[in-house]
Amino acid sequence: MTETLPPLGVDLFDVHQLRLTEAEAPRLSPADEVARDRVWNKAVQANPSLFDGPVVACAGLEWEEPRSLVLSWARVTYRHYALRRVPGSTSWLPSLFVNVVQPTDDGRVLAARMSSSTAAPGRWQLPGGSVEPPAEHEELDEAALHRNAARELAEEIGVGLSPEELALWAVTRGEHGSIGLVYLAPARSASVLHERFAALVAAEQAQGREPELDEIALVRSPAGLADLDGPHADYLEPVVRRYSEASLRRNV
């Protein structure tokens, strides 16, 4: 197992092979269910755009050998994560999400800001989102995760590509033990990225919808993140650092 740069409590792993297995979500006591629902209902009152749809949680990680990871997953709904805010609760599972490093052809990385209607308004992060459970008779495997990541990039940034163009680049473990699968996209010009994002925002607004992301920025190094006002996803700094350092080594 290779760990790189774990600032701010974030672990960053190199993973060359990923295997997924389904597990059962933990059974909740009646008290946990009541406490969960109380916290969730309060959050929905504060932000009515929250929804309790199906989602995949991380049920465990196991290393078969260096850089070969077995990831156990379970079916839950977004309401499940309200348990994190219940004092003393240990029944919840960490979240599982995908995100995409979208570089420019001059070595910068795209960061995006969540809009006011989301669960994390104003937060800067990579394009991406929670992993969705597979449909009936389908599997959650590496191919499905690639499709999930490609869909998030298209829906949030307006950049379309085939899932095969994405490569698993790193795995992060951050706040609440949440697991992020980080994919690397082919580099594109800065002008194309700005054009695609502007067209996506305009199309969403024309339909009377607020885009999930309201601004993008291109950063060359962790120092550039300091210019982005608002909170940052905990994995953002170590991921940008890793990419910028790899770019420097390629150019030496």
CATH value at residue 228: 3.90.79.10
- Model-wide pTM > 0.85: yes
The Cα–Cα gap between 126 and 117 comes to: 17
Mean pLDDT check: name the lowest of 114-118, 122-126, 139-143, 235-239: 114-118
Of 130, 165, 146, 184, the C-alpha closest to 14 is 184
**Is residue 45 a part of any domain in this protein?**
yes
pLDDT tens string 203-214: 999 999 889 999
User: What pLDDT sits at residue 252?
Assistant: 52
- Domain assignment present for 149: yes
Number of domains, the chain: 1
Answer yes or no: is 2 within a domain: no
Range of the domain at 155: 7-251
pLDDT at residue 4 tops 60 = no
